[in-house]
Homo-oligomer: A and B are copies of this chain.
Amino acid sequence: MGGDKAPEMVIEGMDLALKRVPDARFLLFGEEGRLHELLRKYPKARVATEVRHAAEVITNRCKPSVAVRSGRESSMWKAIAAVKAGEAESVVSAGNTGALMAMSVLQLRTLSGIDRPAIATYFPTQRGRTVMLDLGANVVCGAENLVQFAVMGEVFARQVLDLEQPSVGILNVGVEDLKGHDDVKQASLMLQNANLPIKFHGFVEGDDIGRGTVDVVVTDGFTGNVALKTAEGTARLFGYFLREALQGSLLAKTGALLAMPALRKFKQKVDPRRYNGAMFVGLNGICVKSHGGTDAIGFCNAIRAAERMVRHGFNDRITRDLERLMSAQGGSRPTVNGVVAPLSAIGSESAHP
């Protein structure tokens, strides 16, 4: 029921997804009558779907804390509960991000060793794709959270992007060690000093995202969310200027017509719907958040992102890799100079006088 054009956009997206993943099956939560009626227009989706009634809807204005307390009859809560019960292998929603995260954490719980889950997505780059996290789950993050994001992002890039040894960078206002606030400086020290088998690149800047300098970009949820949306906005602005220029003269129009197949391919490459589907990582269950403003094509891609994570057995792998990472450095927490220390002490001013 979540998203600007829901629920029809969701059902149309399911219909599209079935073309790529013909064996997908859906549990659809929401207003029973309306969903059954809409499904009539999409016979293929109808056959693959079981509708489950949910009397409530979590709106975008709903506070996450309120949602988890009094939203137990909502489509969102029930959809996540289906994952917890093992009835569904993943949940996809275009609804309220904060509520989806809070409900997922409460029902699915975080993986062992992870304090807070993060939202991750792909960015297109000159070299391929980069994973970035967190994109808004945690508007305030400490150094420990950033280190955990680095670990999860590295596993993600290895398993889902199939990279052998992905490089990891922390987003900052400069690449020099002295740049940035305390949390990024501490996280960088922790990743440098802990014996984690991670290829840590150091700090990267905003323009390194599109450049593809590293395979994994780690940041707090506030900065990550702004960066993601700024990139989307810039891409849209760029497209607007390009259209404007190509419609400016007869010559330009003719040229654009000839180059149309190439321009169409280009447009597809930068289409934000192609990258729709932000993945919650660090939970005992797979949860994908679609953009609220997307259409059926975008929602279809969010479904496919969830399907990919299920197919790759992402959570089994992340758990195994986390354990391997933790044991590789001889403790359940990163160490400084080989001495196991609580994360809060690592890289702090006092530990590095």
Residues on A lying within 8 angstroms of B by beta carbon are 60-61, 63, 98, 124-126, 136, 139-140, 171, 173, 176, 178-181, 205-211, 219, 221-223, 225-238, 240-242, 244-246, 248-249, 251-252, 254-263, 265-266, 269-270
B265–A259 touching, CB < 8 Å = no
A275 → chain B closest CB, angstroms: 12
Contact residues in B for A225 (Cβ distance below 8 Å):
173, 205-206
Closest B residue by C-beta to A262: B252
Q: When the two chains form the complex, which single residue of B210, B223, B251 contacts A226, counting CB atoms closer than 8 Å? A: B223
B265–A181 touching, CB < 8 Å = no
Choose among A179, A221, A259 the residue with the greatest number of B CB atoms under 10 Å from its CB.
A259
Contact residues in B for A266 (Cβ distance below 8 Å):
241-242, 244-246
Closest B residue by C-beta to A244: B266
How many of these chains are in the complex? 2
Task: Give the docked Cα–Cα distance between A233 and B171 (Å).
Answer: 13
Closest B residue by C-beta to A213: B233
Contact residues in B for A251 (Cβ distance below 8 Å):
258-259, 261-262
A186 → chain B closest CB, angstroms: 14
A184 → chain B closest CB, angstroms: 9
Q: When the two chains form the complex, which single residue of B222, B226, B231, B255 contacts A259, counting CB atoms closer than 8 Å? A: B255
Contact residues in B for A221 (Cβ distance below 8 Å):
173
Task: Give the docked Cα–Cα distance between A331 and B222 (Å).
Answer: 33
A210–B234 touching, CB < 8 Å = yes
A187 → chain B closest CB, angstroms: 14
Contact residues in B for A237 (Cβ distance below 8 Å):
124-126, 210-211
B226–A173 touching, CB < 8 Å = yes
Closest B residue by C-beta to A243: B266
Closest B residue by C-beta to A238: B238
B206–A229 touching, CB < 8 Å = yes
Task: Give the docked Cα–Cα distance between A269 and B248 (Å).
Answer: 14
B261–A249 touching, CB < 8 Å = yes
A253 → chain B closest CB, angstroms: 8
Q: When the two chains form the complex, which single residue of B207, B249, B262, B265 contacts A230, counting CB atoms closer than 8 Å? A: B207
A135 → chain B closest CB, angstroms: 9
Closest B residue by C-beta to A62: B178
Contact residues in B for A249 (Cβ distance below 8 Å):
261-262
Beyond A124-B241, A207-B232, A252-B258, 4 additional pairs, beta carbon < 8 A: A206-B226, A210-B233, A238-B270, A245-B262
